C-alpha cells in the first residue's frame, strides 16, 4: 500500500513523501530539489539537508506511517471495506447536502473539508460511543459514522446534535479540498446579529471557531472519571438554537449503538 503525505514550508517549497508499507521504505521529493527522489529508510532522509520545519514534518509523517503500518498490512482490506460501507450508506441520503462537495471523490476524502487523506482517514462517531464499545465500523452503525480527516475529527470531538451538523455544514461551505477559501461567507443560519442598534455580520469561519472554543470550554479538565459535556447548539440573541433542521437520521433515532 502506498501512502502519500504533502507539505508546504513557510517559503512556499512543496514536499511529497511516499511510503510503501509492504517494503517499509519511503521516497522524499520536492520542488526545492527539482522533484528528484531521495530514499528514506529512517526518520531522517539520506543525503539531503532540510530546515527545522521540514525535518519536523518528515519525522512526524515517518512516525505516523510506522504506527499504522501493522494495521494497514493486516487490516487494510477490512478497513477499506468499512469505509466503503459508510460511503455507500450516506450516498443517497438527503443529509449529504451538509457534506463537502468533494466528500465522495475518493475513498479517503473528508466529509467536512474535502481533503484527500492519502490512505488513512478517521471513522468519526457522530454521537459518542458507549463506554466499552469497540472502535471501528460495526455493520448496522454506518448512520453514526462520518469519515473525517484528523484535523476535522479533532475539531468536532466536543460537538453534538445540532452543533455538530452546524459545524459540518459551515466547514463544507468554506473549505475546498482542505483549503480555506470562502473566508467572507456568512453563516446561512445567522447571517448577522444586532447589538445596541448596531448590526454585525456573522461569518462562517468565526462561527466555526466559536463552536470549537465552546466545546473545549465544556470539556476542559474532563477525565475518564468525569462526565463529559458537549456543545449541542449555538443560540441567537433570543436563546433559540441555530443550525440545520434536524432529521431522524441526524438525531440518531435509528441508531442502536
Q: Does one domain contain both 61 and 100?
A: no
Phi, psi of 178 (to 5 degrees): 90, -5
CB 154 within 8 A of CB 216: no
Could you give the number of structural domains in the chain? 2
Mean pLDDT across 76-102: 83
Structural domain contains residue 1:
yes
Q: Is 188 left (phi over 0), alpha (psi -120 to 50) or beta?
A: alpha
Same domain for 134 and 53? no
Query: Do 101 and 183 sit in the same domain of this protein?
Result: yes
Looking at the structure, tell me whether residues 3 and 110 fall in a common domain: no
Which of 77, 105, 136 marks a domain boundary?
77
**Measured between alpha carbons, how far is 130 from 124 in angstroms, rounded to an integer?**
13
| Pair (152, 49) in one structural domain | no
Higher pLDDT, 203 or 71: 203
- The pLDDT mean for the chain works out to 80
Question: Are 181 and 69 contained in the same domain?
Answer: no
Determine contact, residues 195/180, Cβ cutoff 8 Å: no
Q: What is the pLDDT of residues 226-245, one digit of tens each?
A: 444 578 888 888 899 999 99
83 lies in some domain: no
Same domain (yes/no): 165, 244: yes
Q: Which of 240, 237, 221 is nearest to 229 (CA)?
A: 221
Q: Which of 1-5, 14-18, 81-85, 168-172 has the highest average model confidence (pLDDT)? A: 168-172
Question: 46 and 29 in contact (C-beta within 8 Å)?
Answer: no
235 part of a folded domain: yes
Task: List pLDDT tens digits, range 31-53.
Answer: 888 898 888 765 554 567 888 88
**Higher model confidence: residue 197 or residue 253?**
197
The parent domain of residue 105 ranges over 91-257
Select from 25, 54, 77 the last residue of a domain. 77
Q: Which of 43, 77, 111 is the last residue of a domain?
A: 77
96 and 203 in a common domain: yes
Instruction: Report pTM.
Output: 0.65
What confidence score (pLDDT) does residue 192 get?
A: 93
Amino acid at each position: 500500500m502506498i501512502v502519500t503525505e504533502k507539505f508546504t514550508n513557510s517559503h512556499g517549497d512543496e514536499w511529497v513523501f511516499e511510503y510503501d508499507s509492504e517494503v517499509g521504505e519511503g521516497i522524499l521529493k520536492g520542488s526545492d530539489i527539482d522533484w528528484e527522489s531521495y530514499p528514506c529508510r529512517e526518520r531522517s532522509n539520506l543525503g539531503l539537508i532540510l530546515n527545522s520545519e521540514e525535518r519536523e514534518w518528515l519525522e512526524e509523517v515517518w512516525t505516523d506511517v510506522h504506527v499504522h503500518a501493522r494495521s494497514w498490512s493486516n487490516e487494510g482490506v477490512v478497513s477499506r471495506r468499512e469505509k466503503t460501507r459508510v460511503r455507500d450508506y450516506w450516498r443517497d441520503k438527503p443529509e449529504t447536502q451538509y457534506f463537502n462537495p468533494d466528500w465522495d471523490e475518493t475513498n479517503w476524502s473528508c466529509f467536512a473539508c474535502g481533503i484527500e487523506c492519502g490512505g488513512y482517514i478517521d471513522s468519526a462517531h457522530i454521537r459518542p460511543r458507549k463506554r466499552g464499545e469497540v472502535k471501528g465500523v460495526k455493520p448496522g452503525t454506518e448512520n453514526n459514522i462520518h469519515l473525517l480527516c484528523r484535523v476535522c475529527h479533532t475539531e468536532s470531538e466536543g460537538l453534538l446534535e445540532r452543533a455538530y451538523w452546524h459545524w459540518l455544514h459551515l466547514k463544507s461551505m468554506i473549505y475546498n479540498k482542505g483549503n480555506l477559501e470562502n473566508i467572507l461567507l456568512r453563516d446561512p443560519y445567522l447571517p448577522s446579529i444586532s447589538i445596541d442598534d448596531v448590526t454585525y455580520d456573522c461569518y462562517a469561519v468565526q462561527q466555526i471557531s466559536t463552536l470549537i472554543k465552546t466545546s473545549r470550554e465544556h470539556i476542559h479538565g474532563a477525565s475518564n472519571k468525569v462526565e463529559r459535556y458537549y456543545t449541542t447548539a449555538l443560540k441567537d440573541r433570543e436563546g433559540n438554537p441555530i443550525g440545520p433542521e434536524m432529521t431522524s437520521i441526524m438525531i440518531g433515532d435509528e441508531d442502536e449503538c
